[in-house]
Amino acid sequence: MSNRSSLYRTYLGAFGGLILRDFRVLRREIGPFLIRTIMNPLLFLFVFTYIFPRIGQGAMMSGAAAGAAAATASHPAISFGTVLLPGLMAVAIMFSGIAAVALPLATEFGITREIEDRVMCPLPVPLVAIEKVCFSALQSIVAACAVFPLAYYIPSSPVAVHVTNWFFLAAVMLLAGLVSGVLGLAIGTSVEPRQIGLIFSIVVIPITFLGCVYYPWAALYKIRWLQMLVLANPIVYMSEGLRAALTPSLPHMPAWLILLALTLSMALLGAFGIRGFLRRVQS
């Protein structure tokens, strides 16, 4: 029993050591991390929720938001910024999680072979992969929090945010961060390093635009086949979960369905990613 406890303490210490190592690297690169996180939502918000309304092009956006809100029930006029806030936070989580795992893996399995140093630490190899996912989830949550003030203050029309269940919000952000991390693990271990850029073009960008980021899922009821198709997209549940937590006045999926879908996505992508990680390490 004491030997097992000692072994667990060794694992915990090694796991924490990897986390601290990654924090130290992130601290040295905090500038590029913040720029990468903020630039896309900053430009999108500035153009579509600040410039467009100021030059008289905001009617289309507010009409789209109001139409989305009326998809399932009657709601007062809702600004496009309110619709956009949860979606942009979901995008930040997704991109940050993928970039924090897939891009470093491309380097570690490629030129630097740094992965050999990592797997030599006193940890089972699957836990090395899980550490990467956990650290990427922390980065994703920070990225989402960095986007929040931008989406709240830049739009010219007020953004209506009302959190009724903080536990649900925390659960959605944690699960969303883990899902983005295991998706990055799956991509980073199944794609050759030189093809990572191509994957972002043909996979990451499409799932973002079809992830209910710029509109609620309920607004797709007029395109029924697409509404059903996007249910295979994990970012849909991130957007809908944050929408349910932050802007409950908008239509959204049931909370239990969101949590179930995120948990299943994490389990399936995690199993695929860890299997790919083991294969790449052993080869």
Band (pLDDT 50/70/90 cuts) for residue 57 is: low
Q: What is the tens place of the pLDDT at every residue in 250-280?
A: 888 999 999 999 999 999 999 999 998 888 8
| Percent of the chain whose predicted confidence (pLDDT) is above 90 | 22
Answer yes or no: is pLDDT of 59 > 60. no
Answer yes or no: is pLDDT of 210 > 70. yes
Residue span of the structural domain in which 270 resides: 2-282
Band (pLDDT 50/70/90 cuts) for residue 212 is: confident
Per-residue pLDDT at 239: 93
Which range among 13-22, 49-58, 120-129, 173-182 shows the weakest confidence by mean pLDDT?
A: 49-58
Per-residue pLDDT at 70: 47
What's the number of domains the chain is made of? Answer: 1
DSSP string, the chain: -HHHHHHHHHHHHHHHHHHHHHHHHHHHTHHHHHHHHHHHHHHHHIIIIIIHHHTT-HHHHHHHHHHHHTTTS------HHHHHHHHHHHHHHHHHHHHHHHHHHHHHTTTS-THHHHHTSSS-HHHHHHHHHHHHHHHHHHHHHHHHHHHHHSSSSPP----S-HHHHHHHHHHHHHHHHHHHHHHHHHS-GGGHHHHIIIIIHHHHHTTTSSS-GGGGGGSHHHHHHGGG-HHHHHHHHHHHHH-TTS----HHHHHHHHHHHHHHHHHHHHHHHHHHHH-
Band (pLDDT 50/70/90 cuts) for residue 72 is: very low
